[in-house]
Amino acid sequence: MRATLSDRRPGHRSRLWRYLASMLTACALLAGTAVPAAAAELMRVTFVRHGQSLGNASGSIDSSTPGPVLSELGYQQAEAVAGRLGDKNFDGVYASSMVRTQLTAAPMSRYLGLPIVVLPGLQEIEAGIYEGTPESEASSGYMLAPLAWGLQGNLDARIPGSIDGHEFDARMKGALKEIYDSGDRNAVVFSHGAAMMFWTFMNVDNLTSAQKMELLRASLRNTADVVIEGNAEDGWTLISWDGREFSQQRTFGAEIKLHQRTLRQQLKAVSQSIRTAFASKDPATIATALNQGISEAKFSMIKYQRAVRAELIERIGKARSTATSQTAVTATTSTAGVQTAGATAAAPVTDNEEPVADKVSRKRDSSARDDQRRPTISDDSSSEVEDAVDSAADDRDESSREADEAAEAEAESDISAEESGTESNEKSGTESDEKSDAESDEKSDSAESAADSDRDTVSSDS
């Protein structure tokens, strides 16, 4: 039977072997080819230095754990941080193991309804033998090794009685990895001045040596913020340093996507907690989860809306500020040109001088050209921003029209004053001429009388 089948299909076995060989070859190729991993997501980290501590107020270096608490000013600064940065819609709040960072993070935690996650790797650089020494002497002691890490790349330098650059870098990177692994992509991290400064110097890819020296001289004030973006695989980029921008701002659309991701993650967590409650089949647990979930979902929507509104306000404010600055520069340049022309030669007033109304018209045309040179938000921004900027531009145009009308009214007033002055001068001149003629007639009559008298006298003498 087998022989008969083989005789009927002589090519069957060879085709089968070819098929198996091709499958094995494909499997070998797939096994030898690395499957590309998903690209690492960007993570934004907003470092915030703690508020003023009692150690700062005393002027002494204190890197001990848990360390001193905040001063009265420090508590006020902590509240101000929540007001200044709260609407960034952070998806995680982190602090070091030192109490001063946790106290600074507390108002932000309450504002966002998020817990404070403590990560020991974020703590201040240990001072070693320089613990308790005056902060004013740090540059010649405590800071020598960190300066070598951040400016020279010498991570082997060690603080006497403390750590070297390798240990410090690994500690901070470990903390950031924990944040990344948690799923947060827009975290606010409360840390310390030296730790924030020197780790940023050591890891961002867009700072020159000159810029590092400039930032080093300025130092970081209490509650100053440093924003970086990136990840462990692709590296890190400095976005801003205490308000000074070092990288191009994300488009409005990209910012909204970041906030939408935060919203999705928070709603996903709510959904998961409700599913877990239903799995328990306990009515009380289910009811509690539903009530809490609805409340958290509403609050997440509120935070998202606040973030979008704050982003719009910030961008419109920057656009107006830029437009105002350019308008001021243009006005200063125009004024300087007029003053130069006036100093070169004072033009005489003639009957052919340009009418004031024409000057006002030309001023209006110049203002229109200035408005055309004012910058607008890029095309990448959403239509909401464009509408808002257009509205702001309409407000500026309305202000320009009011200014033009005021200028025309002032010009008309000047013309009336000139005409009135001319009539007054003409009238005064006429009266003066008439008075002069009368005086001349009187003098002539007197002269004639004197002449007659002289003639009479001469006649009499004769």
> What residues are annotated to the active site?
50, 124
Structure tokens at 254: 């990209």
> How far is residue 44 from each of residues 3, 118, 290, measured CA to CA in Å?
73, 18, 32
Q: At what angle do helices 383-461 and 356-372 cross, to 10 degrees?
A: 160
Pairwise CA distance, residues 113 & 294, whole Å? 14
How many CA atoms are closer than 13 Å to the CA of 9, on its beta-carbon side? 8
- Write out the H or E segment, with its range, that includes residue 321: helix 283-344
CA-closest candidate to residue 266, choices 89, 19, 80, 410: 89
Rounded Cα distance, 112 and 108, in Å:
6
3-state helix, strand, coil in the chain (%, to 5): 65, 10, 25
Q: By CB neighbour count within 10 A (0-12 exposed, 13-18 middle, 19+ buried), where does 8 fall?
A: exposed
Structure tokens at 392: 């702001």
CA distance 54 to 72: 9
